[in-house]
Amino acid sequence: MEIDPVCKMEVDPATAQWKSEYKGRTYYFCSLGCKVSFENDPEKYTQAAS
Ligand SMILES: [Zn+2]
């Protein structure tokens, strides 16, 4: 399972409908809202994780 970096929910990459690439890594989201939040400010959500 992947972790949605916005809300920290677990997302199954096999069924995820929303994903985004950032700095060579693919991030998965539980909803379009989380994907939009991430793309508006990806640094905010990737600092702590990686
Ligand atoms: Zn989410």
Distance 2 CA to ligand 1 centre (A): 11
pLDDT at 12 > cutoff 90: yes
CA of 29 to the centre of ligand 1 (A): 5
Q: Count up the domains in the chain and report the number.
A: 1
Give the model's confidence band at 47: pLDDT under 50 very low, under 70 low, under 90 confident, else very high: confident
Q: In the predicted model, what is the mean pLDDT of residues 18-43?
A: 97
Are residues 50 and 10 in contact, defined by beta-carbon separation less than 8 angstroms? Answer: no
What percent of the chain shows pLDDT beyond 90? 92
Domain, as residue range, for 21:
2-46
Rounded to two decimals, what is the model's pTM? 0.88
Q: Which of 20, 18, 17 is nearest to 46 (CA)?
A: 20
Whether 48 has a pLDDT exceeding 70, the answer reads: no
Q: Contact, 7 vs 30, CB < 8 A?
A: yes
> Which tens digits make up the pLDDT trace of 33-42?
999 999 999 9
The residue whose two tokens read 């939040």 is: 37
